[in-house]
Chains A and B, each alone.
Chain A
Amino acid sequence: MGWGEWISESKRYIIGTLVLGGLLALVPFAINFDMYYLLILSTALLYGVYVVAWNIIGGYAGQLDLAAFAYIGLGGIVAAELFTIYGVTPWVGMFVGAGVAMILAAAIGYPTFRFGIKDVWYALMSAALVVILNNIFHLPELLGSLDHYLPSKYGWMYLRFPTYENLYWFVTVTLVVAMLINLKISHSKTGYYLRAIREDELAAEALGIDVRKYKLLALMMYAGILGFMGYVSIVIQGTYSYHTFDSPNSITIAIMGIIGGLGSIAGAFTSAVTLKIIGEYLRSTLGASIPGIHLLIYGLLLIIVGIFKPDGLAGVWVSLKKKFVKKNVRGEKK
Chain B
Amino acid sequence: MAETMLELKNVEAGYGEFRVLHGINLRVDKGEIVALVGPNGAGKTTTLRTILRMTTLYNGEIRFKGKDIRHLPTHKIVEEGVTMVPEGRGIFNPLTVYENLVAGAYTKKAQEKMDDTLEFVFSLFPRLKERRNQIAGTLSGGEAQMLAIARAIMSRPEVLMFDEPSLGLAPKIVLEVFDTVVKLRDEANMTILIVEQHVKNSLEIADRAYVMEMGQIVLEGEGKALLNDERLKKAYLII
Residues of A participating in the B interface, judged by any CB pair closer than 8 Å? 1, 189, 192-193, 195-196, 199-200, 202-211, 263
Contacts and interface: CB of A to CB of B under 8 A. Distances in A.
28 contacts: A1-B133, A189-B102, A192-B92, A192-B95, A192-B103, A193-B103, A195-B95, A196-B103, A199-B91, A199-B93, A199-B94, A199-B95, A200-B86, A200-B90, A202-B86, A202-B90, A203-B86, A204-B92, A204-B103, A206-B52, A206-B84, A207-B154, A208-B74, A208-B75, A208-B107, A208-B110, A209-B106, A210-B75
A210 B73 CA distance: 9
A59 to B, nearest CB: 11
A200 B91 contact: yes
B149 to A, nearest CB: 12
B3 to A, nearest CB: 22
Given A1-B133, A193-B103, A196-B103, A205 B74 contact: yes
B47 to A, nearest CB: 14
Report whether over half of chain A's contact residues are helix, strand or loop; otherwise say mixed.
helix
Contacts of B152: 207
Interface in B41-80: 52, 54, 73-75, 77-79
A192 B105 CA distance: 11
Interface size class of B (residues with CB under 8 A): 20 to 34
Contacts of B52: 205-206
B14 interface: no
A208 B92 contact: no
Interface string B115-135: 000000000000000000100
Contacts of B102: 189, 192
Contacts of B91: 199-200, 203
A205 B82 CA distance: 12
Contact of A209 (B54, B75, B89, B99): B75
A204 B106 CA distance: 10
Interface in B139-190: 151-152, 154-155
A211 B103 CA distance: 12
Interface of B: 52, 54, 73-75, 77-79, 83-84, 86, 89-95, 99-100, 102-104, 106-107, 110, 133, 151-152, 154-155
Contact of A206 (B78, B93, B110): B78
Contacts of B107: 208
A222 B95 CA distance: 22
A106 to B, nearest CB: 18
A202 B54 contact: yes
Given A1-B133, A200-B90, A203-B90, A208 B95 contact: no
Given A205-B74, A210-B75, A193 B106 contact: yes
B94 A207 contact: no
Smallest CB-CB A-B distances: 4 pairs:
A203-B90, A208-B78, A1-B133, A199-B92
A9 to B, nearest CB: 11
Nearest to B74: A205
Contacts of A193: 103, 106
Nearest to A210: B75
A167 B227 CA distance: 77
A263 B93 CA distance: 13
A195 B94 contact: yes
Contacts of B74: 205-206, 208
Contacts of A263: 94
Given A196-B95, A199-B95, A208 B90 contact: no
B161 to A, nearest CB: 9
A205 B92 contact: no
Nearest to A209: B106
Contact of B83 (A192, A195, A204, A206): A206
B103 A207 contact: yes
A208 B94 contact: no
Contacts of B73: 210
B194 to A, nearest CB: 15
A206 B54 contact: yes
A192 B95 CA distance: 7
